[in-house]
Structure 1
């Protein structure tokens, strides 16, 4: 199905009214992007920050009257609009487009992440067959790659793990295929639990190898290793929970953290963990600590 995109720019204060007006006049979606290379590293809980200068894109059916839409939009707004730009969006099978750009990834000496629709390039290695669905975690992001790289080097035989924020299930499934006895997956998103269960089945794991739970329903049992690839803010807030879930002498592997946030996250766990040197890929880091009490 062909589409048209209406692109315009606005300052922070005018963005909400333009977004609302676009939806009222028939846009099927509205996208907001930074228009001035202004980074927003991580919002606080409950915040939805915007850039000072925002690029706004409204998506419309290609059969609409563009002149009428532009007039209707202007009539709904108090400020005059300039530099309206219409573009035709190429008609593609976007699912196939995404699939064509997800390739097998080597994450160490043993581990490979392979799209479920591809043959593993090295069948004798430990291959994770993955279809993330709507959940986060394909291995292409530095945070996931850093965690997979760490797991590749661990002796996991007969250990129990918790994957807190399991997303697609990629970390827990990797741990099981590397010898772990059991992994508990936890996520706040029901879609992630579905994706994890599907990927566990796709990798021919036993039905009870990786049970998944929403946080309120998760068992309170501790584990030899706790994995959490989330974001710095939630990781700091979850410190009491993740600490209690890690057995004395056990390991905690944290990622989803920018290099400038690493010290703040370590400080939240400092009294209970000794941390190894920080591992970094691009601007992202991985923290690994051993529980000392």
Structure 2
């Protein structure tokens, strides 16, 4: 069976209601994209905890509705516009061939080489180099498969500074990937903390899959006072707020590694940590930086 996508461009104020109307009228799914994607007018849309965008829409939003081929597509657009009390927008149609969606999705996730010798490998692939450090990790609900520059930066820092027999804390662990990398690089006790219970479940599953003994928990379950290495890949605002707490988790002489920081935010984050630990930019990639420093002995 094949499908038809209806493509409509609407203004930001209309995107959410128009999408909802399409769904109520029988569309199988609806997505919204930036109509200016790939141009100088493209608008990145993301937010930090407590500062999330109120709506997933852009000044010029492209609404895409998936429908069966036998729908009256023009009528669907007209009815949705009437429901929203807006003029009927122009629309275009494009065919979507039937295919094996599971295989298609899996094909989009190939083994990734991180740094010099860390492979992140989905479960449906074999490791290109089984003698390297191999993480079996499938895309899931919790952020972190190694594809984002901030995750890569933290993994590469750990590879260049192997935490042999050291205690490690991965704060904001997500999928647990940084904690697992630390353990596979020879760390001793490793713990992961996240405010999202689903992330804790995901991280525990990934640790077992990778034969790593790691303790994952919510913040109120932390027992160890300080660690030789503390890694936090979050976002700049929460990192600044947590400066006293995260710094206090670093043992004397220990290392602190922060990412999830845009290059233009580096100075304000380092300033927040200056009373506790002197941080500097370790590396920059695609507009993101990793900061690192050591607590005085």
1:16–1:171 Cα change, 3 Å: same
Whole-angstrom distance in 2 between the partners of 1:94 and 1:254: 37
Offset from partner CA, 1:95-130 (integer Å, 9 cap, x none): 322322322333234422222332222222222222
1:47–1:102 Cα change, 3 Å: closer
1:132–1:195 Cα contact (<8 Å) kept: no
Which residue is 1:27 aligned to?
Answer: 27
Structure 2 counterpart SS, 1:240: helix
Whole-angstrom distance in 2 between the partners of 1:21 and 1:71: 11
Whole-angstrom distance in 1 between the partners of 2:280 and 2:176: 25
1:142–1:6 Cα change, 3 Å: same
Output the TM-score relative to the length of structure 1: 0.88
- How far is the alpha carbon of 1:61 from its aligned partner? 4.2
RMSD: 2.3
Q: Does 1:204 align with 2:178?
A: no
1:76-225 correspondence runs (5 A): 76-205=83-212, 209-219=213-223, 221-225=225-229
1:69–1:277 Cα change, 3 Å: closer
Structure 1 counterpart SS, 2:195: coil
- How far is the alpha carbon of 1:280 from its aligned partner? 1.0
Which residue is 1:75 aligned to?
Answer: 82
Offset from partner CA, 1:128-154 (integer Å, 9 cap, x none): 222232222222221111111111111
1:132–1:168 Cα contact (<8 Å) kept: no
1:102–1:224 Cα change, 3 Å: same
Which residue is 2:53 aligned to?
Answer: 48
1:25–1:257 Cα change, 3 Å: same
1:242–1:162 Cα change, 3 Å: same
2:81–2:89 Cα contact (<8 Å) kept: no
Which residue is 2:238 aligned to?
Answer: 234
Matched residues, number: 290
Structure 1 counterpart SS, 2:129: coil
1:107–1:152 Cα contact (<8 Å) kept: no
Match of 1:285 among 245, 265, 289: 289
Structure 1 counterpart SS, 2:121: strand
- Structure 1 residues without counterparts, runs of 5 or longer: none
Structure 1 counterpart SS, 2:81: helix
1:274–1:292 Cα contact (<8 Å) kept: no
Which residue is 2:14 aligned to?
Answer: 14
- How far is the alpha carbon of 1:219 from its aligned partner? 3.5
Offset from partner CA, 1:6-58 (integer Å, 9 cap, x none): 22112222223223322322334332222233323643524425422211222
2:78–2:88 Cα contact (<8 Å) kept: no
Output the TM-score relative to the length of structure 2: 0.87
- How far is the alpha carbon of 1:161 from its aligned partner? 1.1
- Structure 2 residues without counterparts, runs of 5 or longer: none
